[in-house]
Structure 1
């Protein structure tokens, strides 16, 4: 009997109530079903309340699990002189391996079903099915193809229940490295909006135009990322054709990573260099406002490996502390080196 006792305890430790199915008496099976149902209900309540009842549900789940562990142990240690046939019935109940395996598998299936049901029903108001996401994906690809007259691939679809909207990532099949974002509501059919394809496409073109200027002022020291906004409804793909419709229609955000060891002694020299950059930026940007941000890092971090990682992901350096920082939302306001405030971090 000891073999059965420890095996039942092990099953109960793995899954709530499974050891009770292993024992297999009608009372044990009913009790096991009840414990499993309560586990699924607890999981459902946890998700439907967004985890706010976790401090109550967590201990309750643990108690249910412990109860399911204790009952088989008590069952095997119970002795009653008034019921001499009890031990014999218990031996017969555990004498058929195939029956034991069958009811244990049934118990395991019921446990898995209760957990799956609790999770699925509890989280369903806040999630979307794969089929629902596929509808949005197909609608987005169709929307982008019609808008830009070229094929696109949506690579990621996530749903935010709080605002009932989808966030998508996509890229043009002609430029798979240029991944951008767009949004969709959960209507039927879905309404797509806020795609950043042209903003990033213009930004990439501006980055290419910035390279000669950066090579002149920061040889092998600087990396740029650009993002371009346009108030007009144009679908113009050529960055240099922007800003011709109305003043202030375009805004350029230029972010630089510069590897330089700044000190109190050479800071004035860096201020002059930034001012020179600001004076020359209009020669490579289109008409409109330009926002400039520079993050400075120690020069010993400027290695081929770092350059490769920045090329793959410009935000790579955000995981490392910068030494100095400059930010100006409208560089046209910068008239002298005294206007350049490079802050130490």
Structure 2
């Protein structure tokens, strides 16, 4: 069976060294194996250094691939006028169809093996096994259930090698929409910490208390979310009673999205509306510091689909461009409309 240069070139483009396996001489097979091993080693080094040597490893891997492409081209281009029998021997050497198929399959397997080995061995020091992650998941669920006396489900477990810790996402089984985060070290048994369950729960309650005020000041225009931090370790689920159990150290972050077309003509009116909101916020928040952010979007972006997304997760508007923005880190700093700066972003 005659071997074709175009086939060797195509195979070399697909996989490093595969065209050399197709040619099939002992030297070509050995050379192809070396190129694959070098590419696997490059991948191993890339992961071992967390990608920091990417500027070196990337060109090196491409260079190995190009070498694997050039060698078959040179093989078919070389002719020896003094040794015609040598050319004929090379043409027929290991050229039966079944041998070509076997060599090609072996080459594919070696290429896949080199890539898999480089990825597996290179990334292993920076990853955790499924069993190790399951241990952390079960420890976190047990910790939460004991702390809050209700069942929880951990849905995501991410390990960060650089700091030797896990970042987890969880929610109460009875309220899957209330997702929160927590952390764990990589010890055995794991030590769970920094859960934000109550922060999210209080924020949800504050958002519900805030809704009537928004409906009054921004009818069918504003959507909000809240996050609450308290400096006490007391397990208090009721946001309205938080001030009595947090040693007075409570901070609240309120973020609004408002669909409105602000212009120079109505900007002063909007400042008065924001001032009214700030004056009335203490009636729905507990005593403490309140941070307020308002992002304004064009009115025509308010569609049934966008409203549904924002009600579920206010961050779904990140793909859209806001037109104006207002931010104050403590609403007690605002005493008049002159203190309010609504910045244009276009």
Q: Is TM > 0.5 for Structure 1 vs Structure 2?
A: yes
Per the alignment, residue 23 of structure 1 pairs with: 23
CA distance in 1, matches of 2:139, 2:241: 30
Checking the alignment, whether the CA contact within 8 Å between 2:231 and 2:246 is kept in structure 1 is: no
CA deviation string 1:153-191 (max 9, x = no partner):
222222222222221111111111111111122222222
Shift in alpha-carbon separation, 1:100–1:261, aligned structure 2, 3 A: closer
Equivalent position SS for 1:41: helix
- Residue correspondence of structure 1 range 83-102 to structure 2 within 5 A: 84=85, 87-88=88-89, 90-95=91-96, 97-102=97-102
Alpha-carbon distance, 1:147 to partner: 1.8
Per the alignment, residue 268 of structure 1 pairs with: 268
Moved more, 51-60 or 158-167: 51-60
CA distance in 1, matches of 2:75, 2:246: 85
Equivalent position SS for 1:177: coil
CA deviation string 1:94-145 (max 9, x = no partner):
12x3333223222221111111111222222333333332222222222222
CA RMSD of aligned residues (A): 2.3
Moved more, 74-83 or 286-295: 74-83
CA distance in 1, matches of 2:219, 2:106: 70
CA distance in 2, matches of 1:280, 1:184: 40
CA distance in 1, matches of 2:20, 2:151: 58
- Residue correspondence of structure 1 range 250-289 to structure 2 within 5 A: 250-289=250-289
CA deviation string 1:76-103 (max 9, x = no partner):
45444447266246425212x3333223
- Residue correspondence of structure 1 range 28-43 to structure 2 within 5 A: 28-43=28-43
- Residue correspondence of structure 1 range 35-184 to structure 2 within 5 A: 35-80=35-80, 81-82=82-83, 84=85, 87-88=88-89, 90-95=91-96, 97-184=97-184
Aligned residues, how many?
344
CA distance in 1, matches of 2:306, 2:22: 58
Shift in alpha-carbon separation, 1:339–1:115, aligned structure 2, 3 A: same
CA distance in 2, matches of 1:20, 1:168: 47
TM-score (norm 2): 0.90
Per the alignment, residue 305 of structure 1 pairs with: 305
CA distance in 2, matches of 1:45, 1:121: 9
Q: Which runs of 5+ in 2 are unaligned?
A: none
CA distance in 2, matches of 1:320, 1:236: 37
Shift in alpha-carbon separation, 1:70–1:264, aligned structure 2, 3 A: closer
Shift in alpha-carbon separation, 1:110–1:147, aligned structure 2, 3 A: same
CA distance in 2, matches of 1:208, 1:8: 67
TM-score (norm 1): 0.90
Moved more, 212-221 or 223-232: 212-221
Alpha-carbon distance, 1:52 to partner: 3.6
CA distance in 2, matches of 1:344, 1:63: 50
- Residue correspondence of structure 1 range 289-300 to structure 2 within 5 A: 289-300=289-300
Checking the alignment, whether the CA contact within 8 Å between 2:25 and 2:93 is kept in structure 1 is: no
Shift in alpha-carbon separation, 1:299–1:67, aligned structure 2, 3 A: closer
Alpha-carbon distance, 1:246 to partner: 5.1
Q: Which runs of 5+ in 1 are unaligned?
A: none
CA distance in 1, matches of 2:303, 2:203: 25
